[in-house]
Structures are given as structure tokens and as C-alpha cells.
Structure 1
Amino acid sequence: MVVRPWILLLLSRAVAGLPVPSPAQLRYQSTDFVALIHFNMGTFAHNGDPCCDKTNWNVQAPYAAGKTSDAGTFNPKQLNTTQWMESIAALGANIAVLTAKHGCGFALWPTEATLPDGSPYGYNVGMPGAAIQYDVLQRFVDSAKSAGVGYGFYYSIMKNFYLCHNFSGKNSCMEEVLPRQRNVSEQDYIRIARQQVTELWTKYGNLSRIWVDSGLGGLGSLMDELQPQAAGTPKNPIDWCGTESGHPSRDVGSSDVWSTGHGYFGQADADEWVPKFCDPQLFEEHIWFWEPNLHVRSLSEMIPIYHDIVGRGMVMELAFSIDREGLVQKSHASVYGQLGAWVRNCYGSPLAATSGPGMAFTLTLEAGSQFDRIQLQEDIVLGQRVRNYTLEQSKGSGWHPLVRGSAIGRKRIHLLSATQVSERTQLRLRIENATRLPQIRQFAAFSPCQEVQEASDTGLGTGPPQSPTKRG
């Protein structure tokens, strides 16, 4: 008899009596990284939310490629979404999310939404005067499918400079409506937004991740109806860690992070499964959209960010800032490739590892080995069961405590002082409190990672531009 994964999940939920991840949440938490791709009109102006304003809307600002009100300004002449996937694969991300519409209001697909007078939306690819006459989203989806990467879309519900909507969701053109802006009513804005997200959620197949920024805007039930298998919906919730810096311990707090309950840290005894994520940028300047002359974080800067996010059980939604040619720049590709390779090399081959059900687990390290980190993982298919634990090292006839902790969940990495093992020794994971019998996916010790080797690029090429997509 073939037992389907969803049946196992239902059984585990019923037997354990604990919150467990849905298939959508389980896929979301199955790897360390999600690629959060920022590429829209802001790429051709400057970073911001919205990136469009009165200094660049109807005039070409010194920093911009053209007027942001002009669909022809969005003109990536070498756009190659397959090249994006090279860096996404090198990083090890299994989902990629693209900004289908950001705060300017520009749409990366030929939307069929209409203005109140029945005329076309008029600020998107594929429209008369646009430099790009093909569906950028379809090209992205096709490349993701070919690469075996899940895909999804970001849509800003509360900001649309083109339609005079600001962060509060209120009209932002009460004092001045600039030429080429459309001062629509709240009712019409909601109608247009609903039409656009309906297109996003029906035209491109099953999405792995949905991000409606600034709240759901009353779209939750539609999201659940049209994309029930996607993470980021009311039925498959995920929560933000509270900071975009990459340093949640510093900016939010160093508390244990639970995959149950809402909020930055979750709650141990909550009755809903809610994975947590952090979304750092690759730029040191806290910039999302590509700008020239910014400082790209090095591998040595990304490693502490990895440990503060992934090492505490969260998923890292790492920014990808596509440049004005429509490519991942080589300096960016280098860091994505280095970070992915570092994770695989550092945590791919433990000195010793074990797994299984139980309250105590022991590792044996041979004389001459050296360890400086321990990685713990629960089998989260069955929920997050551990509540308190101690890591110990044998010393003489007893045990010396190394670390005490509470949450394990998806992943917990403990960094220790490097210890040279002069004689055969043991490490022990002793679980002191659990809601059910713990199911440990990995208890592993690792040697110090190889010294960081910075490099100028990974050999990932820019690649030729893709041929235009014919629209039938």
C-alpha cells in the first residue's frame, strides 16, 4: 500500500495532538534559504518604498534611467531569468519570490485590470510604449520550473504611487495629483488590486510562497481559495522575525524561536504551526533595489547572519537585487555561491551524528579530532516537541555541561570554543522536558569550518539575454 505524505501528516496531527506543519509550511522549512528577488521600476530609479516620487516621476532624476511614470524606463536589455536561477541554485534556495508589483505600482505582467473609466491599467509591461513587451513573470516562472525551484510573488497592497495610494492605505494625492498619476477612489483601488492578485494567483500555476506586503488587505479568503498550497496564506501562515538587518539577536532579542504561535519568537505551547523568517539584504546599506556603488556583504559578513537566523530555526529570505540589465551581477553571484558552498562544506560532513526517537543521545569522538559546533534538528513533521535540553561532554567519570537550551525545532546551531580531543570522548544530548517522545532528526558535532576564502566571482556568467517570449 502506498501511503501519501498528506495522510502521514494528518495521522501525526491526530496522534500527537500537537501542531505540525502543513505540506506548504514543510516545504518552506525544508531548506535554509528563500530568494527574495527585488526587480521592478525601483531598479531604474532608486531604492525606497515607494521608489517613485515627485523628484523622479515626470523628470529624469540624476540617479534614474528615465522618468518613472514612463513604462519605457523599465528596460532590462539583457534580462535573463535563467541566469538568476544559477545563483539561486548555488545558494541552495528552494523557493524564489519576485516583486510582481512594488510601491510604484508598475506591474511586471500585462495585467488586464482596468481604470474606473474602463481603460487599461496603463502602467505595466506589454502596454503601448513599454520597452518590455513580454510577460516578465511568465519568463521567471518558466526558469524556476526548469531549475526545480518553487516560485511565488510579492505584491504591495498598501502602496501604489501611480494610483495615489500610500502606506496607510489612504489616498496620497489629496494635495497634488501629478501628471500620469491616477487619483482613484478607495473602492476602485480595492477593485484593481483584487483583479491584479487574482491574475497572479490564477495565471501562473501553483505558487510556493505568497507575500502580500503591509497586510492581507481583506484578500486572505481569496488567497486560501486560489492558492491553498502556498506558504504565507492564512491557512499556511509564516511570521517575520522583526528586523531586516540580518541580526535579530541584536535588534529584536536572543530568545528561543518556536515554530509554533505568532510573533517574532512564537510561543512554545501555542496550538498553530507558524514558521519564522528573516529577510536580510545583500547590501551593507540596507538597500533592496539595485543601485550603483553599493557595498556587497562579504562571505565573512554573511556567516554570522546565517547563524543568527538559520542557526536559531528560522528561514533566511535573502534579497536578490537584479541590476538594470536584468541580471545578477557577478559580485553578487560570487557571494551567493560562496555562502551556499560554505554551508554545504561546513555542515555537510559531521564528525559524528545520530538520530531517532528518545530522551538521550550520545556521540563518540575519536582522539585527535576537534569540534567547535553542534547542530540539532527535530523531525518537525511530528511537531516541535523538545522543551528543555542540555548538551554535555564526558569528563572523567562524569559529564560537563556545554550548553543549556529550550527550542530545537527545524534547526539549532550552537557555536562553542574549539576543543581538541586528546583522547576518545563523548558528547551527550540530554532532553529534560518534552511534550511527547522527541524525534531527533540530527544531533551532530562538526569540526571548525575551513578558513573563509573570499573570491571576486564564482564563474557564474552573466549569460546572453533570453529571446523574447511570443504572446499568443
Structure 2
Amino acid sequence: MANPFYYSYSYTIFLLISLHVAAIAWQEQGTFVTTPPLPILPLPSYSQLKWQQREIIMFFHFGVNTFTDSEWGTGQENPAIFDPKGLNAAQWIDTAVQAGVSLVVLTAKHHDGFCLWPSKYTDHSVIGSPWKNGHGDVIQELVNAAKARGVDVGLYLSPWDRHDPRYGQNKAYNEYYMAQLQELVNKYGSIKEIWFDGAKGSNAPNMTYDFSDWFSLVKELQSSINIFSDAGPDVRWVGNEKGFAGSTCWSTINRTALSIGNGSIVNYLNKGDPKGTDWLPPECDVSIRTGWFWHKSQSPKQLDQLLEIYYNSVGRNCVLLLNVPPNTAGLISESDVQRVIEFRKAIDTIFSSNWAEKCAITASSQRGGKGGGFGPENVVDGDHLWTYWAPSDEYKEDHWIEFKSLNGPLIFNVVRIQEAIGLGQRIRLHEIYADGVRIASGTTVGHKKLYRLEKGVVQAFCVRIEIIGSRATPLISSVGLHFDPFWHPNGLVPWQVVH
């Protein structure tokens, strides 16, 4: 007969072994699976994050001004002057795609009040144009062309209307404006950005815009849209039309301190606010030409000018909205097409190679210790948002991450730093050293901070980034050491240095 004590003893041993294995598994899980750090508010929305990652978007200023060689129309133009016989929206979109752009914004109505779609509420539109015998719709043509290429569309509807007689009558004009707004966001499918501004002539009639009602209507009809204005609520103006953000540039700001068309807040818009309660990142609008509308007498900016704008917009935590205006034929001029292609090729050339990927990377500390998932190696993977180096919360001294060459000197003149902004913007102050010599220093980082080094090309065996001020534990998602062959501040062509 079997001994019951033997079975009881065996079961006890089995139970103890099982508990021990479970304890080891729990310990291993506790060792190797470390929780992410807490976010720091405010945070971006999903649509704001997607917008930020576009980095460059494109504006199309087009309308009666294109045919009158003016920037601000009078509102008295005859719609018959609008006759873009060769209009080809597919060519516009092709230009955007070649520029690496995934969102385009069209002036559906500028200050002159002329509408590029057949609005039911006015005849001051393409209805009165000889183009397509009054049956044309520029917005629909753009939407169709964009959809075919996987490009998103945004629209600008000027609040100031110099044509409509209701302008200056608060109730009547707000009803008119909201009716047109409803047409636009209802009729043309998914609209990813709607653009409002406060531009208005000094002698324009007094008019109170019902911005809050407009915003509410837009959000009701398009929940994933981003609304741009001086006061957001999703994207803010950078405060100038040069394409330059402040060297300090927070995505956070206090919306209660903002108002549309208020010239006294441009510095605040330009820099943002580290104590801001709202996530409202800036957009830098600038034209490829001197004017916003096409003029035969004007030419596109030179490549070096566009690159300077890029470093001071995208490289300062902003999205660049680059205006490329169609001409009287309804096409993007060939000189502009070639310039934006050249611009994109230059950007790709600069950032296609990253010396940091060829380095041994160490850091002052890392969250969860080695193998915890937050090591410095994350800054050179392909994810620039959700994988990151996180130092340990236990360390109170300055945090640093270091890149040491494994084979010969590192040769670069651009440094790129990116934060994991999905968990908030944190870095207040940082410095960059090459072989112990400081080569750059700055304040905010945000989605992307780019330094074109003032002294030109650096050759070094060790590069260290020190975070010496932060709102919370800094989280760095990506670092790049790049070579820009177009940047030669000392008059020496960079290729001479490299080769």
C-alpha cells in the first residue's frame, strides 16, 4: 500500500518548487520590465503629434490676386478675371510630394472675398469665372488630386472679407461666415487643418468674430482636424512671417493670454511658456517668394535661404508652412518646382547619414538599469517618439549622454536632438561638448532641435550632451551628428575639411 506521507511530502516539495519558480519569474519580470516614467502635462493630442511629425507642409495662395498682381485684393474684382486655363492640381500635389510634403493648405477665400469653390451663399466665386464656364471647383480638384497621391488637405478661410456687404454687421456676417465654414468642412471629406488669422486693414469696419462658435462647429464636423490661429486651439502662429521661431520655443503656452490679431503677444507666441497649461505648438508660415501670391517679377528664395529657414523652424520645435503659389496658368512655376526639389534633396543629403550610429553610447544613468528598456542605445533606433533614453530618477546631478568614436574621428557640423514629446516637453537647458570643448548650448529641445555649428566642421572622438535643466526627468528619443555640405560659415567649403 502506498505511503500517504510520501504523497503529502512529494506534493509539498512540488508546491515549494513551483512557488520558487514563480518567484524567480516575478523577480525577472521586475528586473527587466521597467515602467515608463510619468508624463508631464500638458500633452499633445494624437492629431497634434501627427502634425508635428510632418515637419514641412505647403501653402497654396491662389485667387484673383494671382491675376491682378496684388497681395491684398480690394473685394471689387470682377470674377471674370479668374481664368487659370491650364489649372492642374495634380501638378501642385506632385510638387508637394517631391518636396516630401504630406499636407497642403489652400486659400479657399482670401481677404478679397473671392471663393475658389461654388458657394451657395455668394456669386463672388468661381461661378462667375470663365474657367470651366463657371462650373469649376478648385477645392474639389485639389482634394481629388491629393487623395490620389495620399496627401492630406487643409483650408484657409479669411475672416476679413472686403467684398461681402455684411462685413461689419456682427450677427449677419458671422452667420454668413459660419455657413461657408460649414460648406467647406462638410463637403470635401477629411480636412486636416483649418487656418484662421486676424489680418485686417486699418480702415476696415469694426467686426467681432465669433471664433469660439467657429471652432466648436469645426470640431463638431471634423473631430481630428487641427485648428490654426494666433490662439490655437491646436496650432499657434509663431508670431512672424519670416519662418523663424525663437531660439527658446516651448510647445506649451497659456491660451487665456492669447487673442487673435493682437500684435502685443507676438514675442509670447514666438517663445511659448514653460509654465503653460496648454499644448499649442507653433507653425512657421513663410513664402518661397517675396509675396504670398504669384508675381511674374519675383523669383524663389535661394537654397541657402530656405535651409536657414528650415534650421530656424523645424530645427526649433516647429512645423514649417512653406507657401508655393500657383501662377496665372494654374500651375506651380518651374523655377519654384525645381527649388523645392533642390530643397528636399539638400535636407535628405544632410540627414541621410548619422555619425552617432557608429559610436559607443554611454549615459550618466538609465531608468531600470541595464536591460530595463530605457538605455542610451534608443537614441539611434528608427523610432523618434516612443523609444528613448531615460536617466534614473534617483540621480539628482546633471544628466549626460556620450558618443565615442569606434574608428577615427567623428566629422560633423550639425547636431540634432529630439525629445519624446508624447510624454511632454521637458528640457530647459543643455550644452554640447566635443572632446571636452563646448561647441553649442541652448534652452528648449522639443520635437527637434538642430544646431548648425557656428565654427563649422568639427572633428572629435567624443561628443557629450549634458542636460543641465529640465522640468522633469529628460527623455531623449533621438540624437544625430550630421554633415551639412551646404554650411560653410568660415568661407571654407566643408568637403575640403572632410577630404
TM-score (ref. length: structure 1): 0.77
- The 5-angstrom pairing of residues 433-448 of structure 1 reads 433-448=469-484
| Structure 2 residue 192 is the aligned partner of structure 1 residue 208 | yes
8 Å CA contact 1:260–1:272 kept in 2: the answer is yes
Cα distance in structure 1, aligned partners of 2:321 and 2:462: 36
What residue in structure 2 maps to residue 221 of structure 1? 216
SS at match of 1:312: coil
What residue in structure 2 maps to residue 371 of structure 1? 412
What residue in structure 2 maps to residue 105 of structure 1? 113
Cα distance in structure 1, aligned partners of 2:37 and 2:410: 44
Letter in 2 for 1:260: T
Higher relative contact order (CA 8 A, sep 6+): 1
- The 5-angstrom pairing of residues 342-421 of structure 1 reads 342-353=346-357, 355=379, 356-358=388-390, 359-365=399-405, 366-394=407-435, 399-416=436-453, 417-421=455-459
8 Å CA contact 1:261–1:268 kept in 2: the answer is yes
Query: Relative to structure 1, is the Cα distance of residues 351 and 427 closer, same or farther in structure 2, using a 3 angstrom cutoff?
Result: same
| Structure 2 residue 271 is the aligned partner of structure 1 residue 265 | yes
SS at match of 2:154: strand
8 Å CA contact 1:256–1:265 kept in 2: the answer is yes
8 Å CA contact 1:386–1:407 kept in 2: the answer is yes
SS at match of 2:272: coil
What residue in structure 2 maps to residue 116 of structure 1? none
- C-alpha displacement at 1:198, in angstroms? 0.4
Query: Relative to structure 1, is the Cα distance of residues 333 and 124 closer, same or farther in structure 2, using a 3 angstrom cutoff?
Result: same
8 Å CA contact 2:433–2:440 kept in 1: the answer is yes
SS at match of 1:78: coil
Letter in 1 for 2:462: Q
Deviations 1:125-147 (A, max 9, x none): 23586644122111111111222
- C-alpha displacement at 1:321, in angstroms? 0.8
Letter in 2 for 1:257: C
| Structure 2 residue 232 is the aligned partner of structure 1 residue 240 | no
TM-score (ref. length: structure 2): 0.73
Cα distance in structure 1, aligned partners of 2:210 and 2:352: 39
Query: Relative to structure 1, is the Cα distance of residues 346 and 415 closer, same or farther in structure 2, using a 3 angstrom cutoff?
Result: same
Letter in 2 for 1:409: G
What residue in structure 2 maps to residue 294 of structure 1? 298
What residue in structure 2 maps to residue 327 of structure 1? 331
8 Å CA contact 2:38–2:423 kept in 1: the answer is no
8 Å CA contact 1:157–1:216 kept in 2: the answer is no
- C-alpha displacement at 1:235, in angstroms? 7.6
Letter in 2 for 1:105: G
Query: Relative to structure 1, is the Cα distance of residues 247 and 235 closer, same or farther in structure 2, using a 3 angstrom cutoff?
Result: closer
Computing the radius of gyration from Cα coordinates, the structure with the larger value is: 2
- The 5-angstrom pairing of residues 24-103 of structure 1 reads 24-49=47-72, 51-52=73-74, 57=76, 68-69=77-78, 71-103=79-111
Deviations 1:380-425 (A, max 9, x none): 112112222221123xxxx33222222000111112123453xx61
Bigger shift: residues 72-81 or 434-443: 434-443
SS at match of 1:163: coil
SS at match of 2:148: helix
Cα distance in structure 2, aligned partners of 1:20 and 1:319: 29
Identity %: 27
Structure 2 runs not aligned, ≥5 long: 1-34, 199-208, 255-268, 358-376, 380-387, 391-398, 489-499
| Structure 2 residue 46 is the aligned partner of structure 1 residue 23 | yes
2:226 corresponds to which of 231, 256, 279:
231
8 Å CA contact 1:224–1:235 kept in 2: the answer is no
What residue in structure 2 maps to residue 64 of structure 1? none
